[in-house]
């Protein structure tokens, strides 16, 4: 089963994203720990990671390269507020799948649903071609 991992220091944001994605029928794990995120990616079934801006005093931009080294085909969806352009360029270069603003209403939640669906579809296309 494909797993989703939500990594964010904001407990409210983690819970909202987890509830949204569990409602969609996904297997969801949540953490605020970078070490736990790395473990889940290396040892468990996390295929798609929804990453907040910060956790364990690390910025998302610092963790993304580590996550990609653990699992090259990992799909990372950055869920954050407004990101300065230099930072956005850096995380895109590191290979994030998508950047979504924190969902505030129904439209934002639908954007997250669509981003996860697309990430999962791209994974199955990727695995089918290997």
**15/86 Cα distance (integer angstroms):** 29
**Rounded Cα gap, residues 6 and 63, in angstroms:** 13
For residue range 88-105, list pLDDT tens digits in order: 899 899 999 999 998 888
Q: What are the pLDDT digits (tens) for 46-88?
A: 889 999 987 777 888 888 998 999 888 899 999 998 888 888 8
Structure tokens that stand for 75 in this block: 């799909």
Strands (E), 12-116: 27-31, 46-51, 54-55, 58-59, 75-80, 98-101
Model's pTM, two decimal places? 0.90
pLDDT of residue 21: 95
The CATH number of 3-128, from 3.30.70.20, 3.40.50.2000, 3.40.50.2300, 3.40.630.40, is 3.40.50.2300
Reference 24, options 42, 50, 51; nearest CA is 50
**The pLDDT of residue 130:** 40
Look at the alpha carbons of 96, 99, 104, 106 in this order and tell me if their dihedral is positive or negative.
Answer: negative
CB 79 within 8 A of CB 60: no
Q: Write down the domain spans for the chain.
A: 3-128
CB 101 within 8 A of CB 50: no
């Amino acid at each position: 089963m494909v797993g989703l991992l939500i990594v964010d220091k904001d407990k409210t944001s983690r819970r909202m994203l987890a509830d949204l994605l569990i409602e969609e029928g996904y297997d969801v794990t949540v953490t605020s720990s970078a070490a736990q995120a790395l473990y889940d990616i290396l040892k468990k079934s996390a295929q798609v990671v929804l990453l907040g801006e910060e956790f364990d005093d690390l910025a998302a931009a610092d963790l993304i390269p580590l996550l990609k080294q653990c699992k090259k085909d990992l799909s990372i969806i950055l869920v954050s507020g407004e990101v300065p352009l230099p930072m956005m360029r850096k995380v895109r270069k590191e290979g994030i799948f998508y950047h979504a603003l924190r969902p505030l209403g129904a439209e934002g939640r639908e954007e997250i649903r669509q981003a996860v669906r697309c990430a999962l579809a791209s994974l199955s296309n990727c695995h089918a071609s290997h």
